[in-house]
Amino acid sequence: MKFEPQINAKQPMPDLKLVWVISHDQSLQQRLHEDLNVIQVDDTDDLKDKTPKPSIIIYDPDERAEEICQFDMATLRKLDVDLPILVLSKQQEEKFVRLMLASGADGYLLKSECDSRIHESLYDLVNQKTPLSPDIASILVKAFRPNLRAASNFNLKDREIELLQLLSEGLTKKDISEKYNRSIHTIDNHVRQIYSKMRVNNLGQAVGEAFRSGVIS
């Protein structure tokens, strides 16, 4: 079954009530828009008993060992499995990028990005999009060359692969439901099926695995 496109009205920007920043870089908070309510801490341990929960988390893995990064991501996911997490880093090695996405990151930007792009990416994330720096996207595309046979590894149907491709390009479930004249309940069921078949918990993991396996490009 193919999705047939329809015209969709632009969605309003959501409200970012609170942003948590986990970074040893004390200048990072100054790069964020002054209108944002930002709390910056050095480590995830410093978040204990912090309330209320944020709208988004920015995680800086620089100057941390890989096992610490994995532990931190697991800790953040325990707070809320659906809480958007943006990795902001100098690191662009393929292995590390894949590690962060597989650990639950919903987006990955390099610190070389301009401040306005970082700010824009926060709204992308709360709109269920997946912001990636161009260099990171290029690394992923080159590393995960298409191999359509890999779809059989997950037993994904054609419409599920198509849906996963659309989500990886930044469309939200609501966008897709309106664009293709399907109920959001139907789209949500397809997404759950994809997560179940791929044995992942969020879109960042699904996209990372799909690129790695060549299901999408």
What pLDDT digit, counting tens, does each position of 3-38 carry? Answer: 444 434 444 445 677 899 999 998 888 888 777 888
pLDDT band at 84 (very low <50, low <70, confident <90, very high): very high
Where are any strands of DSSP class E within the chain?
19-22, 38-41, 56-59, 85-89, 107-110
Average pLDDT over residues 83-94: 94
User: Does the predicted model carry a pTM greater than 0.75?
Assistant: no
Burial class (CB in 10 A: 0-12, 13-18, 19+), 97: buried
Cβ(86)–Cβ(109) under 8 Å?
A: yes
Average pLDDT over residues 40-56: 84
Given a cut of 80, is residue 167 above it in pLDDT? yes
- Which residue, 132, 133, 136, 197, is CA-closest to 164? 197
Q: What CA–CA distance (Å, rounded) separates 70 from 92? A: 16
The pLDDT, as a whole number, for residue 127 is 87
Domains contained in the chain, CATH given: 19-141 (3.40.50.2300), 144-213 (1.10.10.10)
Given a cut of 90, is residue 144 above it in pLDDT? no
pLDDT above 70 covers a percentage of the chain that reads 88
How are beta strands 85-89 and 56-59 bridged, if at all? parallel
Q: What CA–CA distance (Å, rounded) separates 96 from 103? A: 10
**Average per-residue pLDDT for the chain:** 84
pLDDT band at 153 (very low <50, low <70, confident <90, very high): low
